[in-house]
Chain A
Amino acid sequence: MNRRDLLVIGAGPAGMAAAAKAVKLGLTVTVLDEQPRAGGQIYRDVERAAKARGAMLGKDYVYGASLAAEMRESEIEYLSGSIVWAIEDGFRVSYTRDGSGAQIEADRILLATGALERPMPLPGWTLPGVMTAGAGQILLKQSGVLARRAVLVGTGPLLYLIAAQMVRAGTPPLALVETQTRSDFIRATRHLGGALRGWRYLAKGLTMLAAIQRAGVPRFTGATDISVEGQDRAEAVVFTCAGREHRIECDTVFLHHGVVPNVQAARSLDIPHEWRADQACFVPQLDGWGESPVAGVFIAGDGAGIGGAKVAEIAGRLAVLKIAEAAGRLSVKERDQRAAPLRRMIRRELAARPFLDLAYPPFAGALAPVDETIICRCEEVTAGDIRSAAKLGCLGPNQAKSFSRAGMGPCQGRYCGLTVTTLLAGANGQTADQTGYYRIRPPLKPVTLGELAAMSVTEPVGKE
């Protein structure tokens, strides 16, 4: 079997930058990413799309093409369309490519699997026509497909970015229904100092807002009681704002209230996680280089805690310094010298985060939804079902899963995990850390039995 010094999972900014750096330091590297094209979420399909729509998507997006090119031009083995579904000791990684299973071994692993949008369970969020805002952006970036009559619902800078991109594309959203309040902003101002140090982000935000305003897109802030109405598809968004109920008819609803680390791969390795109150999510325990308590497993990018594309890129390079040192390619002194400027850059990039986290907190109505709301999309389990499970003594998500089926569907809990933890913590009067998270097991993504069977080298392991 093919054995590499480093295996990178994920070809977003973190993975691409790390792989290019590792090769320069003399390591043998393979990159696996499930997407057919490099770029990750922010630079989705950047090599094709930058040519077609670079102007509309902005220069921050087009920048990603240089990372992709750098990765492509070096000695990296980049296997696109490779879905990683098991990581085992040794490290032995199993993945699916072109419908068949394959394995690769590596001394070290860098998980650069990025973020997911924070689940935003609202009444009606499972209707066709309701998508994540990131999905709306992917449609635009990758395919040049635009929603004609869309309402954006939620909060956060990404919501403005997408709105601005839609304005530039000539199909502005019908409205922005925003959940943050004035008092969130006031609370955030104590971090204004940091935000000013990260002024580039603020300036960008203000420019986007101005463009949205100029296009005449109505904005509602402090919205509550949000739901999506419709029979077989989304027909309208209903919400309360300043004491009044509003109803906006539309075809498409884009939801967003932040992104959270995609912890599936890290959890499957039993890497301990802890709750970060400021980002309202679990993050893996890592040292200053991104190495986890499972020696040899590193995590960089949004999967390590939300920092955005720039931080992801730099953190990928930083992790590689320790990996190279451990592999004998750098001395400890060289490693530390090279790390210092990277650490400074990360600090600068993160300066605006505390302000943003407080100014755009997740929507409370979706963190602990009303009983009737579906919270597990796959198995159609409601918030009330989880609260009932708590009454039957379920202290954590794994017990609740066996009673409610939440988390048993193909998405493996990606879009219900945090909600279930939050609901159980609330119902049992415990912290999120005490409550814990789903035990994630292979396969990280579904895999056909035929493919699995084809990887069987021996007779069945032994049966009754």
Chain B
Amino acid sequence: MKTASPFLELDSVERVELSFNGELLHLPDGSNLAAALLASGVDAFRKTPVSGAPRAPFCMMGACFDCLVEIDGVVQQACMLEVRAGLEIMSPDTTGAFDEPA
């Protein structure tokens, strides 16, 4: 999931530790969470519940919901959050459906 980042970061702000799907990351404190994850090389934030296709931020303004991540059991938009130390971020699990599709 993590590659050499296609993004370049201009600012050098103090970094704090958090995790994404269990992997430790050091991201600029107080910066936009979706931007910071992208800049750190996270490619796909989640998989869609419909087809399992990978998704990453699209609009960066809270409108498209492609940047969804799960924090403390609540699925939220990463582009509307700021980086804080200790966040445990996960890709949402959305696999519920009928047991035996009729």
Contacts and interface: CB of A to CB of B under 8 A. Distances in A.
Interface string B25-58: 0001001100110110001110010110111111
A52 B43 contact: no
B93 interface: no
B70 interface: no
Contacts of A409: 65
Given A128-B54, A409-B65, A411-B65, A147 B60 contact: no
A55 to B, nearest CB: 12
B43 A232 contact: yes
A415 B63 contact: yes
Contacts of B64: 377, 411, 414-415
Consensus secondary structure, chain B interface: loop
A15 interface: no
Interface of A: 34-36, 41, 52-53, 99, 116-117, 126-132, 134-135, 138-139, 142-149, 169, 171, 232-233, 251-252, 262, 377-380, 409-411, 414-415, 445, 448
Nearest to A149: B6
Contacts of A144: 9-11
Contact of A143 (B32, B61, B65, B80): B32
A147 B55 CA distance: 17
B56 A135 contact: no
B97 interface: no
5 contacts: A126-B55, A126-B58, A132-B59, A138-B35, A379-B50
B19 to A, nearest CB: 20
A171 B8 contact: yes
Given A143-B31, A232-B43, A233-B44, A135 B60 contact: yes
A309 to B, nearest CB: 15
Given A143-B39, A411-B63, A53 B57 contact: no
A410 B66 CA distance: 9
